[in-house]
A and B are shown apart, each in its own frame.
Chain A
């Protein structure tokens, strides 16, 4: 192949990549605007809400909080304490110890005075049989169900079997929650219980979630750049995308660390599925698919509140492993529900949500790989000069930086969560993400795609960070 020919082909590939990029830019810009509108409306609604009356009222809807815990010895006490401190009138907490091989159960027994009881429960969902049920002597709202390991989805289903109330709040055993998380989120259910069947909200990254929870006022951001990039990544995803999805009612991922579901909806659908690498995205797709197919009027909301703090990976390998799993489950889910793609029967989910997922999640790693390869080939063939390369990378950097700054702005409009210097630090770091952080995500997505093609279904939970071991 002559260099001239190669340049010709490269030109067309570049055009293809640009079309993908243009579509992504247009989608993210539109979602950003919608997210800003959604956040503004929610914020104003919150301002006029009488939270004091709600927090004390016996007329709020009681909630069963279900926490699936697998080897969470180091954080479980803080997680449970943070949930029991929820400023919400009536709720119960069911911790499902999913075959932990560390001291998770012992920690709970010791801290909360759990003792084994014999109880009967309604087996509305098929799950692995529990080994034992424990109730707290000091905290009547707390129940611990111990069982052999069966995966997170099965553990959550087990929790559903023990749940007493109409709404469920599914949480993770490694996330420490804000005191007002449930009240602020359930407010939206309380205002429209006939239609709101699901809700989720933003979880922040912290290297020591329990320390963050113990603090008050504006949250300090850690000095670790790797942690900061993950923080920005989460924030951008929620504040500039998911709020927009929610506005158009195609909120396609109620995240594992905090998702509220109407119990009857989950039971009707047979609960969480263990057939996928991760349960959260799949159940959201399934609920949408079911509700749209049945022609019901419903809402699944993404909310702009920071409801908790979770520990992110502190090593590149752990991050890649985590994100590869996310990519696998996205591919599994999109493939499984491909019949919704551009199908008008599924409304905005089929016409906007699915194409967006394909564009931004499924095709993105290939497009990114193609772009990088093309760029390298163009440089090698002398078809593009170093100045143009810098301009292009600069464009991408500041483009992503703009989205991150917008996410910070939207978050800040809802009330100052960060100290001024931290806000500035995050905003200034944002343009470097594309060079310093994004390649790792691209790699992780490719690894995830490869894993998907090989049929890998492992959970790949990342190893807890060293800090915890040294300073439990």
Chain B
């Protein structure tokens, strides 16, 4: 006896139709509600703006009237959303604090709920922070120590937008104590709305390599900070290569006499990425007199150091060309090619060809053109279009850059 399943068809059909109707209905309802909320918010913002023009009290009354029937979850969601404008978040937070009270919100911000997860807590923290409540900071400090990474992440982002030094201190403390991903905390400290260089400076002496690294990496923004160069320079001898790299990178941007010494010293560092950053720093600091220290790195055994040396020599400009020309005869093929590239990117090559076209180039110049052509190989030039380009192209061809594209 075979099984018969026809009896199933009708109930299955009914279930699927009901399921589709419910889900599609939910979709339509959700979008309708969203559109309504969006237009209501836009209208409300306009009305609050008009009321604020009359008086702060009028604005507060308008906000109260407008938001009275709005569910708490909606307000929480908007305040906690990083895309919400600060002005709007402040207005909504002030309303929420009045409506639900500081004590209740502080209680919500202290611990995550059992079934709602951390979101009400995160929203409460945002409301307290946007509302400028003093309770916000200790609660955010507690949130930074929470086991739930979502809470910590939200606390870091919220603190990063609070324009108070105390918020920066909490973030710095989180960095010291390794509360969360250092790179994320550093991102907030990097874009912190207040100058915090003085608070970062002591971290350079911290026993933790990680903390020293991030302090050095973050201090590049504070070139006018007193004592920064003096504090960074000794770390060029740090046993950790990452710290040395961060130091030379920061000093490259901060500048000063010690910066030059550090950058030049680290050109001989045993770790390739430190040498690479030191070379870049020499370029950034425009230490043209020391191009001869960078040029040999074109033949470094590490690829990234070679690239960094090329960039640095281009940045050093025409003053470095005599040194670069020497590298055209290097035993290393890349060094020869990179030297030609430096002369190309700096404009030396086109300059030589132009002089050749006008007959101003002497025999030594033509010999140099040949050496560059040999080192750089075909396809080296970027020539301007038009008649001048054609003439330059002919000259380049004479200089054995025969495959140059006009």
Contact = CB atoms under 8 A, between A and B. Distances in A.
14 contacts: A7-B2, A15-B5, A47-B77, A53-B188, A53-B191, A118-B377, A388-B9, A398-B20, A402-B16, A408-B27, A409-B27, A420-B31, A427-B28, A431-B20
Contact of B17 (A52, A388, A394, A405): A394
Contacts of B28: 423-424, 427
Contact of A11 (B4, B126, B183, B190): B4
A401 interface: yes
Interface of A: 7-12, 14-15, 18, 44-45, 47-54, 56-61, 113, 115-118, 120, 122, 132, 137, 164, 190-193, 384, 388, 391-392, 394-399, 401-402, 405-406, 408-409, 412-413, 416, 420, 423-424, 427-428, 430-431
B23 A409 contact: yes
B93 to A, nearest CB: 15
A122 B302 CA distance: 11
Given A11-B3, A118-B376, A398-B16, A412 B30 contact: yes
A10 B8 CA distance: 16
A51 B82 contact: yes
B25 to A, nearest CB: 9
B19 interface: yes
Q: Is the interface of B mostly helix, strand, loop or mixed?
A: helix
B35 A420 contact: yes
Contacts of B209: none
Contacts of A395: 9, 12-13, 15-16
The 10 residue pairs across chains A and B that have the minimum distance between CB atoms: A11-B2, A398-B16, A116-B379, A391-B9, A48-B154, A50-B157, A57-B187, A405-B23, A53-B191, A395-B12
A395 B19 CA distance: 10
B80 interface: yes
Contacts of B258: none
A191 B180 CA distance: 9
Contacts of B3: 11-12, 14-15
Contacts of A396: 16
Interface string B180-207: 0101101110110000000000000000
B162 to A, nearest CB: 12
A143 B118 CA distance: 45
Nearest to A134: B379
Contacts of B177: none
Interface string B335-347: 0010001000000
Contacts of A164: 304
A191 B183 CA distance: 9
Contacts of B4: 11
A190 B184 contact: yes
A107 to B, nearest CB: 16
A59 B34 contact: no
B161 A50 contact: yes
Contact of B187 (A9, A59, A115, A118): A59
Given A399-B20, A409-B23, 7 more contacts: A12-B3, A44-B119, A47-B80, A47-B81, A53-B157, A120-B337, A394-B16
Contacts, number: 171
Interface in B138-152: 149-150
Contacts of B13: 391-392, 394-395, 398
Interface of B: 1-6, 8-10, 12-13, 15-17, 19-20, 23-24, 26-28, 30-31, 34-35, 77, 80-83, 119, 122, 126, 149-150, 153-154, 157-158, 160-161, 181, 183-184, 186-188, 190-191, 217, 303-304, 306, 333-334, 337, 341, 376-377, 379-382, 405
Nearest to B149: A191
Contacts of B154: 48
Given A48-B80, A50-B157, A118-B377, A402 B27 contact: no
A397 B15 CA distance: 12
A49 B9 contact: no
A116 B405 contact: yes
Given A11-B2, A57-B190, A118 B337 contact: yes
A164 B28 CA distance: 47
A60 B187 contact: yes
Contact of B379 (A11, A117, A388, A405): A117
Nearest to A53: B191
Nearest to B125: A48
B31 to A, nearest CB: 6
A62 to B, nearest CB: 12
A35 to B, nearest CB: 13
A388 B9 CA distance: 6
B46 to A, nearest CB: 20
For B3, B6, B20, B81, which residue has the most chain A Cβ atoms within 10 angstroms? B20
B77 A53 contact: no
A21 to B, nearest CB: 9
A51 B81 CA distance: 11
B20 A50 contact: no
A118 B379 contact: yes
Contacts of B30: 409, 412-413
A226 B314 CA distance: 54
Nearest to A122: B303
